[in-house]
Structure 1
Amino acid sequence: MPNAADILIETLIKWNVEVVFGLPGDGINGIMEALRTRQDRIRFIQVRHEESAAFMACAYAKWTGRLGVCLATSGPGGTHLLTGLYDARLDQAPVLAVTGMQFHDLIETFTQQDVDLTRVFNDVTVFNAQVSDAVHMENLAGLACRSALAERGVAHLSIASDVQELALDESRRSKRNRPSHTPDQWFEGDRLPDARQVENAAKILNAAKKVAILAGQGARSARQELERAADLLAAPVAKALLGKAVLPDDHPHTTGGIGILGTLPSQEALKECDALLIVGSTFPYIEYYPEPGKARIVQIDRDAQRIGLRCPVEAGLVGDAAQTLRLLNERLTQKADRGFLEKAQAGMARWREMMALSESRTDVPMKPQVIVKALGRRMPDNAILTTDSGQNTELAARHIDLRAGQEFGVSGALASMACGLPYAIAAGIAFPGRPIFSVVGDGGFAMQLGEFSTAVRYGIPLKLLVLKNGMLNQIAWEQMMFLGNPQFGCELQPIDFAMAAEAMGGIGLSVTRPDEIEGVLDAAFAADGPVVIEAVVDAYEPMMPPKMPPDYAKNFRKALPQTPGHEQIEENVSHEPLSSMMAGSS
């Protein structure tokens, strides 16, 4: 007779779950046994920290569009999941979190690890339940899966350790709880927008003379439709960070990223347009959107709640991006005047020339953009790239040009450090055989350093570039630009990451000079299994927005004389593209 844990795992299998990320603990022994006895049908991926399990489940859901599942024991095991679960919540990834609890009759008695995880998880979840017995599990397990997929968020089941082993025939079924009355199926229909809104959107876009498009992760499955809309509207396409792979970076319509990590042509396109089409994005930095009243806004999103979050919207199209764009494209008129697009294209040509200057520097200490560009240039056409949160994000966004067929992933709205490596491992689990790459900083990598051994254990074909500057560099520059304060508290104790990689059974390589890059990359790309490439880079190379706002520039100049290494910073700012970015503030 199956017990509650058996019912849970059988339900996951019925819902086509193939992978569970987690770490064993005595609060989930019953579930671990159910996984052990079904390991030919569902795979358990052991991590070194529960936060990574949640990041991996989130990333797996993003990569595949399927349900990601993570598992943790009671008390601290469950609380460790929270950061990765908030990542899923904010980036709308369907994830099921399963946690253990102490014995059911000792809950709320101050026993060991007596943490009410349903209460703890209340803010992060779209579905949140404590399982009382096996017949209750029959109802809740499938409902939790359905809720996560339907709401594109986090569902949570908390199960006392003794309840996990409670057999179905030992549970008391109420007379209204008929067996198998909840189907283990996912019913997903078309998401089509209101026809009147489509007509309204077409009128707005057809009447405009300078249309720009902002594309995010919601446009990932709508590339052809997005290209068609961009062509009809003669529109440059700026990409939010999560939408980096929506169009290749060399596409004639794209102006690259937007925001502090983005390009000047993207910023100018959104500033100068008289109409903006937003597709699958709620890019959070309001200051980069058109000023209210200067452009008419059309937004496509499958979530009605997200229409109009960042700027006033005249036409809100609630529906699947691909299907909605197809309906809209049928009503758009081809624009003969392509001057706005051509101006953006000319701007991108100048921007690429500026980036090329910084990417070809031969200075020592080595500039981080030099090694980042070299890595990106070598990535094969089917590569998957992840990055962490920090200056490394800006470097990957600006200096790695994604090609058609390549994918990209990062913690978006949460912007959490320590996500890059778990995202990369999840990509390797989701797509066996595809080459995996990651760009991380020494701050974020150190937080989950032990997880590199997970990549070794599961043979992830990972090339991980760690930019070692001994600083929490993004925070350091933000201290200067945002508040006018000198850098403080951001220095890091150095770690030999190459040696650590070797100690965990992987391969560790180091590079300190530009003339060493190609040889080190030759060795890294020739190696099988996970490789850490430790690149010692200039800690005084600033991170700047494409056009420095006047208040940022004023704060930067105020903080500079009091900041350690200000002479080196001043020297770096005198070179392109930083000098042009600073000049844009005047």
Structure 2
Amino acid sequence: MNVSEYLLKRLKEWGLHRVYGYPGDGIGGIDLALQKAVDRGDLEYVQVRHEEMAAFMASAHAKFTGQPGLCIATSGPGAIHLLNGLYDAKMDHVGVVAIMGQQASTCIGANYQQEVDLQSLCKDLANDYVVTVSNPYQIRHAIDRAVRIARDKHVPTVVIIPNDVQIKPFKEAPNAHGFTHTGIGETTFAHVTDVAGLHEAARILNEGERVAILAGAGALNATEALLTVAETLGAGIAKALLGKAAVPDHYPFVTGSMGLLGTKPSWDMMKECDTLLMVGSAFPYSEFLPDPGKAKGVQIDIEPANMSLRYPMDVCLQGDSASVLKALLPLLKPKSNRKWRKKIENNVASWWQLLESRAMQEATPLNPQRVFWELSPRLPDNAIITADSGSVANWYARDLKFRAGMKGSLSGGLASLGAGTPYAISAKMAYPERTVIACMGDGAMQMNGINEMITISKYWKNWSNPRLIVLVLNNEDLNQVTWEERAQSGAGKTEVTQSIPDFPFAKYAELLGLRGIFVNTPDRLGAAWDEALNADRPVILEAKTDPNVPPLPPHITLAQAKAFMTSLIDEPERASTMVNSARQVLASFLPRRRD
């Protein structure tokens, strides 16, 4: 057994059975070992079109399964390409193990072709563990530490292996000075939250008359406990973007997303509450939280570094969200006064009516909100939905009602363009029996999504359920940045940077042997979704949407309003922008009610 063969054997023993990657001579020895491992059924190898996609898929794997993701790339440019996806894992606190090739150890330091100082390059993103294997005796502890640290600390780790070391015979370390012997196994967290801290947190929550809960990605495994706490305290639950699946949206006290992509009920609840309970979230935008000092704060998080980071908390409880909430529950007193809860529920009911009214407003040719509004009631049970960065994330965050059992994610902290399609592929690889839907803008699709459609065409026949739908909002505009220019910079659309070429996404799907559906009229949207959801193969559903429908923030500041009005002076699409903005604002006053 050589080093590469032992590497893959050890990864299998750790339970890592799927690797995303792209070949190269810098990992030539590992590529040969991969073929043998795949032939034996020990490992699944997913060949991507670009190493960045491999890292995004590994990050998504960790998000959707709770287990470390695994990716591999060759030396030099291949390793460099991994960085964006690995930073996505770092910033969203998920574990990924990256295996990087390197030029032969005999030429390191000689300015050799594709020789990059990978140890220094990766030190920021993998500051918890990055190592170069220079001796076969190292490979065991290098892999053991990389996997354990990635899994238990929820961080990316990097193992760099020169290509000559990859093919050297593997050697078990002797029981001698200068050697170490690592092992495989689960880490049991025996940490029990301090009783005094629990009682103090309960006192604050019991004394609060207007309690607001913010749930993040760290609360995805705490759904039942969150709902019970909210019911006991008469609280509402808002969700950070990565926590969208933490609680279902059909509960009348769930206010939806927070932040620029969030809802007005979430904004109102945060600004009017007297007590904030933050669970498993490092939500970045403090301006959407209560004004400092105006609310008492209790925070639950497994990461000490997240404590009191965005809001000055009175009590911080470290631990797994579900475990801490369950320990806290017996100390909480049911609130008899439901005036606060009733106000939240009324705001939520009005908000859903408003969203429907906005979605049904005319646009040329399609209102993007309508695309999501038609999808929401059609979402299959246990669907997995991914979204890309850009204005599409607004509609994903606001207009889709998640039910129990659904999963959803995107690039949160990094907010990288182009992550939605690799996320969807990773979700489908992990859960081939479930329907997966990627919500994409045309900018992200042109960046790398159309390339990864080739990956979908390569593997889809292996899936027990072939349904993977890639929705593309084709508006020929890098839309989120365009609206940021209007609302923040007071400038009209800069066409030289914002306008992008049209591309026949639906026709492209057909070229790959997939299904392509094009829709540009609102009366066809429902049927288009039905066709896509019942297709016998993956689908690109291309919706020709209006770029000038504004993704209105939950609260419009005077500065934003002034900047927007100023931007109209030089706005090349002034008429459309003004008409659509007026329609969306008027919908707030004249909501369309259900029959």
Measured in 2, the distance between the counterparts of 1:576 and 1:534 equals 23
Deviation at 1:480, TM superposition (A): 1.4
Q: Residue 212 of structure 2 aligns to a residue in which SS?
A: strand
Q: Residue 79 of structure 1 aligns to a residue in which SS?
A: helix
Corresponding position of 1:539: 547
- Is residue 479–residue 485 contact of structure 1 (8 Å, CA) maintained in 2? yes
Corresponding position of 1:13: 12
Q: After TM superposition, what 4+ stretches of structure 1 lie above 3 angstroms from structure 2?
A: 171-175, 361-364, 576-581
Measured in 2, the distance between the counterparts of 1:159 and 1:207 equals 57
Residues 578, 186 of structure 1: alpha-carbon distance in 2 compared, 3 angstrom cutoff: farther
Q: Deviations over 1:334-358 (max 9, x none)?
A: 0011111110110111111111112
For structure 1, which segment, 299-308 or 448-457, has the greater mean C-alpha deviation from structure 2 after superposition?
448-457
Corresponding position of 1:109: 110
Corresponding position of 1:93: 94
Q: Residue 300 of structure 1 aligns to a residue in which SS?
A: strand
> What are the residue-to-residue correspondences of 1:159-170 with 2, within 5 Å?
159-168=161-170
Q: Residue 201 of structure 1 aligns to a residue in which SS?
A: helix
- Is residue 134–residue 168 contact of structure 1 (8 Å, CA) maintained in 2? yes
Measured in 2, the distance between the counterparts of 1:414 and 1:249 equals 25
Residues 579, 353 of structure 1: alpha-carbon distance in 2 compared, 3 angstrom cutoff: closer
Does 1:361 find its partner at 2:361?
yes
Measured in 2, the distance between the counterparts of 1:36 and 1:296 equals 57
Deviation at 1:112, TM superposition (A): 1.0
Measured in 2, the distance between the counterparts of 1:252 and 1:372 equals 20
Q: Deviations over 1:421-479 (max 9, x none)?
A: 00000000111210001111000111112101111211152111100110111000111
Corresponding position of 2:593: none
Q: Residue 541 of structure 2 aligns to a residue in which SS?
A: strand
- Is residue 437–residue 462 contact of structure 1 (8 Å, CA) maintained in 2? yes
Measured in 1, the distance between the counterparts of 2:557 and 2:250 equals 27
| Ranges in structure 1 where 5+ consecutive residues have no aligned partner | 582-586
Q: Residue 237 of structure 1 aligns to a residue in which SS?
A: strand
- Is residue 361–residue 584 contact of structure 2 (8 Å, CA) maintained in 1? no
Q: Residue 547 of structure 2 aligns to a residue in which SS?
A: coil
> What are the residue-to-residue correspondences of 1:514-533 with 2, within 5 Å?
514-533=522-541
> What are the residue-to-residue correspondences of 1:378-527 with 2, within 5 Å?
378-448=378-448, 449-459=450-460, 461-488=467-494, 489-527=497-535
Measured in 1, the distance between the counterparts of 2:587 and 2:52 equals 40
Measured in 1, the distance between the counterparts of 2:104 and 2:363 equals 62
Measured in 1, the distance between the counterparts of 2:179 and 2:486 equals 63
Residues 578, 310 of structure 1: alpha-carbon distance in 2 compared, 3 angstrom cutoff: farther
For structure 1, which segment, 480-489 or 465-474, has the greater mean C-alpha deviation from structure 2 after superposition?
480-489
Corresponding position of 2:463: none
Give the residue type in structure 1 aligned to 2:157.
A
Q: Residue 98 of structure 2 aligns to a residue in which SS?
A: strand
Deviation at 1:222, TM superposition (A): 0.6
For structure 1, which segment, 153-162 or 561-570, has the greater mean C-alpha deviation from structure 2 after superposition?
561-570
For structure 1, which segment, 483-492 or 21-30, has the greater mean C-alpha deviation from structure 2 after superposition?
483-492
Deviation at 1:110, TM superposition (A): 1.5
> What are the residue-to-residue correspondences of 1:288-303 with 2, within 5 Å?
288-303=288-303
Give the residue type in structure 2 aligned to 1:154.
P
Corresponding position of 1:201: 201
Give the residue type in structure 1 aligned to 2:43.
I
Does 1:65 find its partner at 2:66?
yes
Deviation at 1:578, TM superposition (A): 6.3
Deviation at 1:378, TM superposition (A): 1.2
Deviation at 1:232, TM superposition (A): 0.9
Q: Residue 330 of structure 1 aligns to a residue in which SS?
A: helix
Deviation at 1:177, TM superposition (A): 4.9
- Is residue 486–residue 567 contact of structure 2 (8 Å, CA) maintained in 1? yes
For structure 1, which segment, 34-43 or 216-225, has the greater mean C-alpha deviation from structure 2 after superposition?
34-43
Candidates 570, 576, 581, aligned match of 1:568:
576
- Is residue 572–residue 578 contact of structure 1 (8 Å, CA) maintained in 2? no
Give the residue type in structure 2 aligned to 1:507.
R
Deviation at 1:28, TM superposition (A): 0.7
Deviation at 1:579, TM superposition (A): 6.0
Q: Residue 71 of structure 1 aligns to a residue in which SS?
A: strand
Measured in 1, the distance between the counterparts of 2:30 and 2:190 equals 36
Measured in 2, the distance between the counterparts of 1:318 and 1:49 equals 38
- Identity percentage of aligned residues: 39
Q: Deviations over 1:474-503 (max 9, x none)?
A: 000111111212221211111111122222
Residues 68, 578 of structure 1: alpha-carbon distance in 2 compared, 3 angstrom cutoff: farther
Corresponding position of 1:25: 24
Residues 164, 174 of structure 1: alpha-carbon distance in 2 compared, 3 angstrom cutoff: farther
Q: Residue 575 of structure 1 aligns to a residue in which SS?
A: helix
Give the residue type in structure 1 aligned to 2:479.
N
Measured in 2, the distance between the counterparts of 1:101 and 1:173 equals 27
- Is residue 477–residue 499 contact of structure 2 (8 Å, CA) maintained in 1? yes
Measured in 1, the distance between the counterparts of 2:173 and 2:15 equals 29
Corresponding position of 1:584: none
Deviation at 1:321, TM superposition (A): 0.4
Residues 290, 353 of structure 1: alpha-carbon distance in 2 compared, 3 angstrom cutoff: same
Q: Residue 458 of structure 1 aligns to a residue in which SS?
A: helix
Measured in 1, the distance between the counterparts of 2:306 and 2:160 equals 30
Give the residue type in structure 2 aligned to 1:123.
D
- Is residue 453–residue 505 contact of structure 1 (8 Å, CA) maintained in 2? no
Residues 398, 108 of structure 1: alpha-carbon distance in 2 compared, 3 angstrom cutoff: same
Residues 172, 106 of structure 1: alpha-carbon distance in 2 compared, 3 angstrom cutoff: farther
Measured in 2, the distance between the counterparts of 1:36 and 1:98 equals 16
Measured in 1, the distance between the counterparts of 2:439 and 2:148 equals 34
Candidates 158, 161, 164, aligned match of 2:160:
158
TM-score normalised by length of structure 1 = 0.96
Corresponding position of 2:132: 130
- Is residue 361–residue 583 contact of structure 2 (8 Å, CA) maintained in 1? no
Deviation at 1:71, TM superposition (A): 0.3
Deviation at 1:360, TM superposition (A): 2.4
For structure 1, which segment, 481-490 or 129-138, has the greater mean C-alpha deviation from structure 2 after superposition?
481-490
Measured in 2, the distance between the counterparts of 1:120 and 1:500 equals 37
Give the residue type in structure 1 aligned to 2:265.
P
For structure 1, which segment, 508-517 or 54-63, has the greater mean C-alpha deviation from structure 2 after superposition?
508-517
Residues 172, 379 of structure 1: alpha-carbon distance in 2 compared, 3 angstrom cutoff: closer
- Is residue 253–residue 348 contact of structure 2 (8 Å, CA) maintained in 1? no
Measured in 2, the distance between the counterparts of 1:177 and 1:456 equals 50
Deviation at 1:133, TM superposition (A): 2.0
TM-score normalised by length of structure 2 = 0.95
Residues 191, 552 of structure 1: alpha-carbon distance in 2 compared, 3 angstrom cutoff: farther
Measured in 2, the distance between the counterparts of 1:192 and 1:572 equals 54
For structure 1, which segment, 494-503 or 238-247, has the greater mean C-alpha deviation from structure 2 after superposition?
494-503
Give the residue type in structure 1 aligned to 2:22.
L
> What are the residue-to-residue correspondences of 1:567-586 with 2, within 5 Å?
567-577=575-585, 580=588
Deviation at 1:419, TM superposition (A): 0.5
- Is residue 456–residue 529 contact of structure 1 (8 Å, CA) maintained in 2? no
| Ranges in structure 2 where 5+ consecutive residues have no aligned partner | 461-465, 590-595
- Is residue 358–residue 587 contact of structure 2 (8 Å, CA) maintained in 1? no
- Is residue 354–residue 587 contact of structure 2 (8 Å, CA) maintained in 1? no
For structure 1, which segment, 48-57 or 517-526, has the greater mean C-alpha deviation from structure 2 after superposition?
517-526
Residues 5, 514 of structure 1: alpha-carbon distance in 2 compared, 3 angstrom cutoff: same
